[in-house]
Amino acid sequence: MAPTSASDIPSLNLLYKLKKLDVSRLGPLKGASPVHNDRIGLFRGDITTLSVDAIVNAANTSLLGGGGVDGAIHRAAGKGLLAECRTLGGCPTGSSKITNGYNLPCQKVIHTVGPVYNDSKPAESEAHLRSCYRTSLELAVQNDLKTIAFSAISTGVYGYPSLDAANVACDTVRKYMDGDDGKKLDKVIFVTFEEKDVRAYNSLLPRHFPPSIPASSDQDSITGEQAAEAEAKASQLPDVPTTDPADSEHVPKKQRQSNED
């Protein structure tokens, strides 16, 4: 499968114009605006196929690989990634570390350790998840990386509710992009895979990054030629995978982290 570049991934502005993203009936949240919509992308598929400056791996505290997306990234990157990760001394929950991409089409991999969701301490889980997104963005800027793609951190075996996790992700990214360092990023891409994450981001992105004008007017403003070009770009994206990138050879991440902590 040919790698997909950041420029090939539709921005929110394009998705709104093509009516590919439903506008929330609840309306935008306080502080939300369309100012970043050309720099926010949405992609459903395999994060290991993205030719961006950095992809964000949902890692465990050991950084030595696991199941799901973590295992898929390690397999696609090759042994060099594991060798470099062994030199990093692990990573605490809520923090992030960066490595080279090796055999992946991306330049760098940012490994972030999401929280195992604790429904008796949701505020603590939220603080850790926010830190995952913030520290990943900080590492990208510190390393002069312009395009970054996030997997849905902690929504797999770590049990974080997808709607709550998507809200944290969108809110943290929006607030970071509002700051001076956020202006240094060309594109932030949310990558979904499972249907529950797709639904969560489809419902929450319009609340955090609303369209600039009503969807009906926005659609009218796009010419037939522009629509055809946009549809052609969308049709060139790879098909959505039909199987989960689970790795049966690894212990599930939630179990691994519990054993390590």
Q: Where are the domains of the chain?
A: 4-260
Beta bridge partners of 111: 57, 97
Residues in the chain: 261
Architecture of domain 4-260 in this structure:
3-Layer(aba) Sandwich (3.40)
- SS3 state of residue 192: strand
d(C-alpha 82, C-alpha 59), whole Å: 12
pLDDT of residue 27: 87
**CA distances (Å), 128 to each of 131, 133, 169, 189, 256, in order?**
5, 9, 11, 20, 18
Q: What is the pTM of this model?
A: 0.84
15 residue type, one letter: L
List the chain pLDDT tens, one digit each, 261 residues: 689 999 999 999 999 999 888 786 778 998 899 999 999 999 999 999 999 999 999 999 999 999 899 999 999 999 999 999 999 999 999 999 999 999 999 999 999 999 999 999 999 999 999 999 999 999 999 999 999 999 999 999 999 999 999 999 999 999 999 999 999 999 999 999 999 999 999 999 999 999 986 544 444 455 555 555 555 555 544 444 444 444 433 334 444 444 444
Q: Which two tokens stand for residue 20?
A: 């590919």
State the residue for tokens 């390590």: 260
